[in-house]
Amino acid sequence: MIPAAFEYVAPTSVQEAIALLQQHGDEAKVLAGGHSLLPIMKFRLAQPKLVVDIGRIPGLDGIARSGDTITIGALATHDAVERSGLLREHCPLLPETASVIGDMQVRNRGTIGGSLAHADPAADYPGAVLALDAEIVARGPGGTRTIPARDFFVEMLTTALQPAELITEVRVPVIGKGTGTAYVKHAHPASGYAVVGVAVVLEAGGGTCRRCAIGINGVAGKAYRATAVERALAGRALDEKTVAAAAAHAADGVDVQGDLYASSDFRAHLASVYTKRAVLLAASRAG
Ligand SMILES: Cc1cc2nc3c(=O)[nH]c(=O)nc-3n(C[C@H](O)[C@H](O)[C@H](O)COP(=O)(O)OP(=O)(O)OC[C@H]3O[C@@H](n4cnc5c(N)ncnc54)[C@H](O)[C@@H]3O)c2cc1C
């Protein structure tokens, strides 16, 4: 499939990109890694008149630590996140998540900013940023603002970003001692996207769960926090029976999606099974 004709521009600064987006409104679309935008342009589900390629803006792909926060530039590729020594040591949930996104070609081109902005319910990062209580930094005509991950995903393919706003960075906390993290995924056998993906950040002490945060993607129209499971685990022993009973609530309160591969009942079942696995794995890593 060939996309409809479009103009292409590659600004060299965030300000220039924002000005172009403001000037061209709905007719312009941001291009980062292109691994979600180009397929939908080829299917002609998007037909922008102007493609604004932010991939050449310098300084948007760094990964750096400042105090207890790690900042990841919007243009950091999935591969860069997977290989980052800083993240592997201090926030291993993100490299683990990045490592199971698509294949090597996708990971070499796709970016964390593009994935979050696209807000595909079956993408892998959304559950992880929810579990991490990450912050998404956006810059637009009105300046810079910080959006908590829990407010970022509005509905399928829709985020809290305003017109002409760009994600510039994602901020995640440094994970401390006594806290384990895990991302486990049931991948669609054809596309590799998450049929169910569960991200867990769990603080343990004396064999019990002190605090846990669970983000789930693939199950509903948008990624969500499994608050019923979090509540059921708080202060409880981290044995298999208790975790299984809590994980049975993984799809509570959400409209579970069904499709040709997985009916909504099967998906809800997978959500419980994978939540149990992710919690037990995070608990074992918490030490
Ligand atoms: C074969 C294949 C398999 C895949 N498998 C998986 C998978 O298993 N798991 C998974 O999570 N993903 C998967 N993906 C998607 C992949 O991770 C994409 O790279 C990602 O979803 C989008 O990132 P991108 O940088 O390519 O964004 P683009 O495609 O360039 O852009 C995506 C959207 O985000 C907007 N955008 C991009 N950057 C910004 C920004 N900084 N600020 C504001 N808006 C922005 C664009 O305008 C566009 O609307 C797959 C893709 C392919 C082609």
Whether 113 lines ligand 1, by a CB cut-off of 6 Å, is: yes
Query: What tokens were used for 4?
Result: 């409809």
Whether 35 lines ligand 1, by a CB cut-off of 6 Å, is: yes
Q: What is the pLDDT, as a whole number, of residue 109?
A: 97
What CATH number is attached to the domain comprising 107? 3.30.465.10
Q: What's the CA-to-centroid distance between 206 and ligand 1, angstroms?
A: 41
Residue 190's pLDDT band, with cuts at 50, 70 and 90, is: very high
Instruction: Say if 1 falls within a structural domain.
Output: no
Which ligand 1 atom sits nearest the alpha carbon of residue 117?
Answer: 34
Residue nearest to atom 5 of ligand 1 (CA): 102
Q: What's the CA-to-centroid distance between 233 and ligand 1, angstroms?
A: 33
Q: What's the CA-to-centroid distance between 171 and ligand 1, angstroms?
A: 19
Residue numbers of the domain that contains 14: 7-56
Mean pLDDT across 182-191? 96
Instruction: Say if 2 falls within a structural domain.
Output: no
Judge contact between 153 and 159, C-beta under 8 A. yes
Count of helix runs (H) and strand runs (E) in the chain: 12, 14
**Whole-number Å distance between alpha carbons of 29 and 50:** 6
The answer to whether residue 31 scores a pLDDT higher than 90 is yes
Residue where a domain stops, chosen among 140, 173, 206? 173
Q: What's the CA-to-centroid distance between 269 and ligand 1, angstroms?
A: 28
CB burial readout 207-225, b (16+ within 10 A) else e: eebeebbbbbbbbbbbbbb
Q: Tell me: the pLDDT tens digits for 114-129?
A: 999 999 999 999 999 9
Residue nearest to atom 6 of ligand 1 (CA): 102
Q: pTM score, two decimals?
A: 0.97
Q: What is the pLDDT, as a whole number, of residue 1?
A: 81
Q: Tell me: the pLDDT tens digits for 79-103?
A: 999 999 999 999 999 999 999 999 9
Whether 121 lines ligand 1, by a CB cut-off of 6 Å, is: no
Q: Mean pLDDT for the chain? A: 97
Q: Which of 157, 174, 144, 158 is nearest to 74 (CA)?
A: 144
Do 21 and 98 belong together in one domain?
Answer: no
Q: What's the CA-to-centroid distance between 108 and ligand 1, angstroms?
A: 12
Q: What is the pLDDT, as a whole number, of residue 287?
A: 80
Instruction: Say if 73 falls within a structural domain.
Output: yes
Instruction: Say if 121 falls within a structural domain.
Output: yes
Q: Looking at the 3D structure of the chain, how many domains does it have? A: 3
Do 138 and 192 belong together in one domain?
Answer: no
What CATH number is attached to the domain comprising 195? 3.30.390.50
Q: What is the pLDDT, as a whole number, of residue 215?
A: 98
What CATH number is attached to the domain comprising 48? 3.30.43.10
Residue where a domain stops, chosen among 131, 156, 173? 173
Do 259 and 187 belong together in one domain?
Answer: yes
Instruction: Say if 101 falls within a structural domain.
Output: yes
Checking 229-232 for CB contacts under 8 A at 24+ apart, the result is: 229/275, 229/279
Share of the chain above pLDDT 70, in %: 100
Q: What is the pLDDT, as a whole number, of residue 128?
A: 98
Residue by residue, DSSP assigns 214-244 as EEEESSSSS-EE-HHHHHHHTTSB--HHHHH
Which ligand 1 atom sits nearest the alpha carbon of residue 192?
Answer: 8
Q: How many CB atoms within 10 Å of residue 168?
A: 21
Q: What's the CA-to-centroid distance between 33 and ligand 1, angstroms?
A: 7
Q: Tell me: the pLDDT tens digits for 243-261?
A: 999 999 999 999 999 999 9
Residue where a domain stops, chosen among 41, 56, 71? 56
